[in-house]
Amino acid sequence: MEQYAIKGGNPLVGEVEIGGAKNAALPILAASLMTDETVFIENIPDVRDTNVLMSAMQDIGVMMKKEGRHKATINAANINTTVVTNDKLKKIRASYYLVGALLGKYKEADVVLPGGCDIGSRAIDQHIKGFEALGAEVKIEFGRIRAKAEHLRGNHIYMDVVSVGATINVMMAATLAEGKTIIENAAKEPHVVDLANFLNSMGANIRGAGTDVIRIQGVQRLHGSEYMIIPDQIEAGTFMFAAAITKGDVTVKNVITKHLESITSKLLEIGCEVKEEDDCVRVVASKPLKHTQVKTLPYPGFPTDMQPQITVALALSQGTSIVTESIFENRFKYVDELIRMGANIKVEGNVAVINGMKKYTGASISAPDLRAGAALVLAALAAEGYSTVDDIRYIERGYEDFHIKLQGLGAQIDLIETERDFQKFKLKTG
């Protein structure tokens, strides 16, 4: 079983290039089956989640030709079924985007129900409510979500909770519905906007993405397009916090600084220097970190996907910090691992009270989910001594070449498989 071996203590210094946004790539790939014409997509991150989705799309007859690691030509003219059973899909959350895409185009979809990270109950009632409002009959049976409609008709839909997934799914189906759909209380995340831009580039008529009211005038068909996916806000934020946690100096390149505002503002608050340029941002952590309070919120609030990374930083700050998780109820599971590394954190419900300490010490730890896994790697990089991190398959779901990019910043981290590999790593870095 692959693990990361890490020797901590080096400040990370240098430049790192950010890839395409996983959470934009997933709906954009799914939406590319909504036209029979050819679509060309650039900046697809080469991570497990996108690869699993692409392979499930190939299984139903979508032609997918990759050019290098990050570009693909996609043609969905010869889809032979709307039943998607690829077992691997259960492992990724975004499998449900195939429901919105297939339902929009073929008025029916039958897709294996999603899994993804175990970070709390992840209801899909708002997706179902949206599909039903458009006239579909939706059933959950045999571990699948089945949706079917004679006709899809636009409607006025109020989302009871702000949901990225439901906003995206309903937007896709409504694009090929008859008439006008209004989604109120819509999610405003950059990837929602990116999908809307992609659909519009295929001939859709979507306005208001990025605000909480999205208006969609249904069109009869979509055409081919060439599109480049936005940079990954969370990958960028993770490397920005890597600088803070390791007391380093990291320039994060190929970003949209506007998408990073909530992250930048917290880094400034805890005493880091942040210098923004057109498409890069430099984070320097030369002073002791200060404590703060943070609550995760839908965009433009502080992202829940950055909550473990800021917690890892605040455990090294001076004073007492409070982190409140308001999106997913089960997102502090990694804290036990941090405590084993010396952190002083108490979790009560959805609130973590963090008393700052001087330094982590290395330990054998496991990644409980994607973002927490990455955050634990950052803790190990700041720690005194050696750590191993296992279950790194979670990290590989969403970070391309994570350890290689960290090595580029001077981190002592390697992929290992056996105890012997670990001993060799110790000899090399000792």
Asked if 91 touches ligand UD1 (CB under 6 A), the answer is no
Looking at beta carbons only, is 227 or 425 nearer to ligand UD1? 227
**Shortest reach from residue 166's CB to ligand UD1, in Å:** 5
**Shortest reach from residue 165's CB to ligand UD1, in Å:** 3
Contact 167, 173 (CB under 8 A): no
Q: Which of residues 16, 44, 89, 94 is near ligand UD1 by CB under 6 A?
A: 94
**Shortest reach from residue 29's CB to ligand UD1, in Å:** 11
Asked if 23 touches ligand UD1 (CB under 6 A), the answer is yes
Task: Select which of 5, 6, 117, 244 is catalytic.
Answer: 117
**Shortest reach from residue 355's CB to ligand UD1, in Å:** 27
Size of the site for ligand UD1 (CB under 6 A): 22
Tokens standing for residue 279: 């498409």
**Shortest reach from residue 378's CB to ligand UD1, in Å:** 18
Asked if 47 touches ligand UD1 (CB under 6 A), the answer is no
The interface region with ligand UD1, picked from 67-75, 246-254, 298-306, 316-324 by CB under 6 A, is 298-306
Contacts of 420 (CB under 8 A, 6+ apart): none
**Shortest reach from residue 335's CB to ligand UD1, in Å:** 17
Looking at beta carbons only, is 267 or 327 nearer to ligand UD1? 327
What secondary structure, in 3-state letters, does 211-247 show?
ECEEEEECCCCCCCEEEECCECHHHHHHHHHHHHHHC
What secondary structure, in 3-state letters, does 47-87 show?
CHHHHHHHHHHHHCCCEEEEECCCEEEEECCCCCCCEECCH
User: 19: closest CA among 415, 401, 419?
Assistant: 401
Asked if 166 touches ligand UD1 (CB under 6 A), the answer is yes
- Cα 251 vs. chain centroid, distance in angstroms? 21
The interface region with ligand UD1, picked from 104-112, 123-131, 219-227, 352-360 by CB under 6 A, is 123-131
Asked if 124 touches ligand UD1 (CB under 6 A), the answer is yes
Q: Which of residues 35, 155, 163, 321 is near ligand UD1 by CB under 6 A?
A: 163
Contact 304, 325 (CB under 8 A): yes
Give the C-alpha separation, 267 to 302, whole Å.
Answer: 12
Instruction: Return the beta strands (E) in 151-285 as ranges.
Output: 156-158, 180-184, 205-207, 213-217, 225-228, 249-253, 273-276, 280-284
DSSP 318: B
**Shortest reach from residue 302's CB to ligand UD1, in Å:** 11
Contact 344, 316 (CB under 8 A): no
Terminal-to-terminal C-alpha distance of the chain:
24
Asked if 232 touches ligand UD1 (CB under 6 A), the answer is no
Contact 318, 289 (CB under 8 A): yes
The interface region with ligand UD1, picked from 11-19, 71-79, 115-123, 283-291 by CB under 6 A, is 115-123
Q: Which of residues 90, 122, 253, 393 is near ligand UD1 by CB under 6 A?
A: 122
Asked if 11 touches ligand UD1 (CB under 6 A), the answer is no
Give the C-alpha separation, 304 to 125, whole Å.
Answer: 20
**Shortest reach from residue 387's CB to ligand UD1, in Å:** 25
Q: Which of residues 62, 243, 327, 374 is near ligand UD1 by CB under 6 A?
A: 327
Q: Which of residues 29, 34, 152, 164 is near ligand UD1 by CB under 6 A?
A: 164
Q: Which of residues 225, 304, 311, 387 is near ligand UD1 by CB under 6 A?
A: 304
Asked if 333 touches ligand UD1 (CB under 6 A), the answer is no
User: Can you list the alpha helix ranges (DSSP code H) found in 60-155?
Assistant: 97-106, 125-133
Looking at beta carbons only, is 154 or 165 nearer to ligand UD1? 165
Residue 322, classified by CB atoms within 10 Å of its CB into exposed (0-12), middle (13-18) or buried (19+), is middle
Phi first, then psi, for residue 418 (nearest 5°) are -130, 170
**Catalytic residue at 117?**
yes
User: 137: closest CA among 167, 101, 110?
Assistant: 110
Looking at beta carbons only, is 104 or 356 nearer to ligand UD1? 104
Q: Which of residues 77, 140, 161, 268 is near ligand UD1 by CB under 6 A?
A: 161
Site for ligand UD1 in 171-200 (CB under 6 A): 187
Tokens standing for residue 87: 């077992």
Asked if 140 touches ligand UD1 (CB under 6 A), the answer is no
Residues in the site for ligand UD1, rule: CB under 6 A? 23, 26, 93-94, 121-127, 161, 163-166, 187, 303-305, 327-328
Enumerate the active-site residues: 117
